[in-house]
Amino acid sequence: MERPKKKIVLGVTASIAIYKACELVRRLKECGFMVRVVMTKEAEQLVNPVVFASLSANKVYRADIFDAPEEWEIEHVSLAEEADLILIAPATANIIAKLATGICDDLLTCTVCASRKNILIAPAMNENMYSNKITQSNIAKLKSCGYKFIAPRKGMLACGKTGLGCLADLEDIVKEVKKYL
């Protein structure tokens, strides 16, 4: 009898590293995980949800928690309950700040708030944004609440400078996912 697949909710935010989330979906599926993608409204401006639907072979859940559902369910609650892990990659300073302050104004933040499972966050942003005292305070607050982080790496940033803020290597993200599942 085949073991049921572990389910990952992948939160995708509007970092320029979003293109790496496409490859991350493929790698997670290769490891045997079922991946459900939840995109923020801003992320949809960078990558069409159909890309993630094709890669995950699942419906992509979009930002608006008030969209009429195809079938009756409270999406943020059902996503939170069925997930074995919630992974946010790439995670912007904005999503980290919203989570740290309890703002639940879209499907992703509501799903995280409704979850009792491990939350794994992989930040990706400009070095100045990452090292900002407020961002670091928000990360520390989330860590104190049990959220796990995969630190960004140093590399070429979208602004053209080299610095700390690049999304962690996909191999490292997959390794961390396996550790928690």
Counting the structural domains of the chain, the total is: 1
Q: Is residue 2 part of a domain?
A: no
Q: Measured between alpha carbons, how far is 83 from 70 in angstroms, rounded to an integer?
A: 20
Distances (CA, A) of 60 to 8, 35, 64, 113: 13, 10, 12, 19
Q: Is residue 55 part of a domain?
A: yes
Q: Which two tokens stand for residue 14?
A: 């509007």
Q: Is residue 1 part of a domain?
A: no
CA proximity to 174, closest of 64, 27, 41, 67: 27
The answer to whether residues 125 and 163 touch, using CB atoms and an 8 Å cutoff, is no
Q: Is residue 16 part of a domain?
A: yes
Q: Is residue 107 part of a domain?
A: yes
Domain range for 102 is 7-180
Per-residue pLDDT of the chain (181 residues; tens, 9 = 90+): 566 789 999 999 999 999 999 999 999 999 999 999 999 999 999 999 999 999 999 999 986 655 555 554 568 788 999 999 999 999 999 999 999 999 999 999 999 999 999 999 999 999 999 999 999 999 999 999 999 999 999 999 888 899 999 999 999 999 999 999 9
Q: State the pLDDT at residue 71.
A: 54
The answer to whether residues 123 and 96 touch, using CB atoms and an 8 Å cutoff, is yes
Q: Is residue 146 part of a domain?
A: yes
**Total Cβ atoms within 10 A of residue 172:** 14
Assign residue 120 the CATH number of its domain: 3.40.50.1950
Q: Is residue 144 part of a domain?
A: yes
Q: State the pLDDT at residue 72.
A: 46
Distances (CA, A) of 4 to 93, 97, 116, 174: 34, 34, 20, 19
Q: Which residues are catalytic?
A: 159
Element (H, E) at 112: helix 107-114
Q: What is the pTM of this model?
A: 0.93
Q: State the pLDDT at residue 79.
A: 93
Q: Is residue 85 part of a domain?
A: yes
**Total Cβ atoms within 10 A of residue 45:** 11
Q: Which two tokens stand for residue 19?
A: 């293109």
Q: State the pLDDT at residue 17.
A: 96
